[in-house]
């Protein structure tokens, strides 16, 4: 067997040379893929990736020369991705607990640090228990199918994140989609869903394309009226929204009314990777038994657990970092508005600069980079037609000077391209 494999390797041109699929099927596949890729390019929706040659942070070096680039497009809301204590905790966990578990949790993949982190997450969110996943995408993929049956119903905001949409697709519950943050429509759908055994309203706490915050008070009131449960995805809220950074439910005073919280460790909480569900203990117990992305995927690596654990410690000690981010957000939003731009959302570090025209958003983002400011333009189909924008994300580690430089560059570029008079 080995001799055959070595022979094939040699015939293929030696180790490291790429293998093309051979035969008619291989050629057909290649033609089909190339034509699909061409369609993506033709539609103008090709996503290219810039290569960063430094740590994640407010100041970046890009491969190919760009140094001293000001970064305004990471979800590094609190600047913890490169925080010295977070990095140290990660290195310590790596040395003490090894590179990885080579196992899923229930076989031999649970270490004391995984249990400690789950306990810490539950305490942070003031919930009974928590369960870790490799990502929040997995947490969202795993919860609906495990929890809901064909007897139940799920009511989902139409602009929910792709991972919630995919998670809901995987479950067999009856599906209702209500108009974005439209409480009249949610109420009508809840009335319709009374015939089902259990109703779960699912919403992003904060929506990442618009920086707008779900009306959780109203959602919880409706949930109470129609005997429903509330699920929130807090990826763009955990660590910094609310007086103590607990999230949208804390900000809106409904921590005791939201039953299930899913969130990520890959944004404000150190930015490495990982996700979780936190909520009632029997739900978490059930997820450990039934949730497929949890059962059939490797445990989080110790270094990643170490990062998130330290990030939570820092946030539980003080809310100073979150407050500093809020002040920077306020500075950016008010200066941009004074300059004549329309910024969507309110008080959130996601600050979409609304431009309308897709081409304008693309050329302005490119011109911003020419001035050393890294921001990204979004257009259809990522956002609705005619609502193209440049999304700016503020971090606690931006200085006031960084923010002012960004506003000045926007003003210059906006005038040049006719977005400002």
Tokens encoding 249: 């439910």
Tell the smallest beta-carbon distance from residue 119 to ligand PLP (Å).
Answer: 20
SS3 157: strand
Nearer CB in complex with ligand PLP: 393/411: 393
Task: Give the angle subtended at the CA of 177 by the CAs of 171 and 178, to the nearest 5°.
Answer: 145
Q: From residue 101 to residue 140, what is the string marking binding to ligand PLP with x (rule CB under 6 A)?
A: ----------------------------------xxx--x
Q: In the set 76, 111, 163, 291, which binds ligand PLP (CB under 6 A)?
A: 163
Q: Which residue has the tokens 């977005």?
A: 419
Is residue 147 a contact residue for ligand PLP (CB under 6 A)? no
Nearer CB in complex with ligand PLP: 136/154: 136
SS3 60: strand
Q: In the set 146, 235, 303, 343, which binds ligand PLP (CB under 6 A)?
A: 235
Q: What is the largest CA-CA distance in the chain?
A: 72
The order of strands in the sheet holding 59-60 is 59-60, 69-71, 373-374
Q: From residue 8 to residue 37, what is the string marking binding to ligand PLP with x (rule CB under 6 A)?
A: ------------------------------
SS3 149: coil
State the number of binding residues for ligand PLP (CB under 6 A): 14
Report which of 263, 296, 229 is spatially closest to residue 287, judged by C-alpha positions.
296
Nearer CB in complex with ligand PLP: 140/259: 140
Backbone angles phi, psi at 385, to 5 degrees: -55, 140
Report which of 356, 347, 350 is spatially closest to residue 391, judged by C-alpha positions.
350
Q: In the set 76, 111, 156, 264, which binds ligand PLP (CB under 6 A)?
A: 264
Question: In the window 197-226, what residues touch ligand PLP (CB under 6 A)?
Answer: 204, 208
Binding site for ligand PLP (CB under 6 A): 135-137, 140, 161, 163, 204, 208, 233, 235-236, 264, 266, 275
């Amino acid at each position: 067997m080995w001799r055959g494999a070595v022979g094939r390797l040699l015939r293929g041109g030696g180790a490291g040379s790429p293998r093309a699929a051979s035969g008619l099927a291989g050629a057909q596949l290649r033609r089909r893929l190339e034509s699909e890729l061409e369609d993506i390019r033709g539609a103008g929706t090709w996503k290219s990736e810039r290569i960063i040659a430094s740590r994640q942070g407010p100041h970046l070096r890009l491969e190919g020369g760009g140094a001293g680039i000001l970064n305004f497009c990471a979800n590094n809301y609190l600047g913890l991705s490169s925080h010295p204590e977070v990095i140290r905790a990660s290195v310590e966990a790596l040395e003490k607990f090894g590179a990885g578990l080579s196992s899923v949790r229930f076989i031999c993949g649970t270490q004391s640090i995984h249990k400690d982190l789950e306990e810490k997450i539950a305490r942070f969110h003031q919930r009974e228990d928590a369960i870790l996943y490799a990502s929040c995408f997995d947490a969202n993929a795993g919860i609906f199918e495990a929890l809901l049956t064909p007897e139940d119903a799920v009511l989902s905001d139409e602009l929910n994140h792709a991972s919630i949409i995919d998670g809901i697709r995987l479950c067999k519950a009856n599906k209702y989609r209500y108009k974005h943050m439209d409480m009249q429509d949610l109420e009508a759908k809840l009335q319709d869903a009374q015939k089902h055994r259990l109703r779960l309203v699912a919403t992003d706490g904060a929506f990442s394309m618009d920086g707008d915050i779900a009306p959780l008070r109203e959602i919880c009131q409706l949930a109470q009226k129609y005997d429903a449960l509330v699920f929130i995805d807090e990826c763009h809220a955990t660590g910094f929204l609310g007086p103590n950074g607990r999230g949208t439910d804390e900000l809106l005073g409904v921590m005791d009314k939201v039953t299930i919280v899913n969130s990520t460790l890959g944004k404000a909480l150190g930015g490495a990777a990982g996700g979780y569900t936190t909520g009632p203990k029997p739900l978490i117990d059930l997820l450990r038994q039934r949730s497929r992305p949890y059962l059939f995927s490797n445990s989080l690596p110790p270094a990643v657990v170490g990062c998130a654990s330290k990030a939570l410690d820092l946030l539980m000690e003080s809310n100073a970092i979150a407050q500093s981010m809020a002040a920077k957000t306020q500075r950016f939003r008010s200066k941009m508005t004074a300059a004549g731009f329309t910024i969507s959302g309110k008080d959130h570090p996601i600050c979409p600069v609304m431009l309308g025209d897709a081409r304008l958003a693309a050329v302005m983002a490119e011109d911003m980079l020419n001035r050393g400011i890294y921001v990204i333009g979004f257009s259809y189909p990522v956002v609705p037609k005619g609502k193209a924008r440049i999304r700016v994300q503020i971090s606690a580690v931006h200085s006031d000077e960084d923010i002012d430089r960004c506003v000045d560059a926007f003003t210059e570029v906006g005038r040049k391209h006719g977005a400002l008079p």
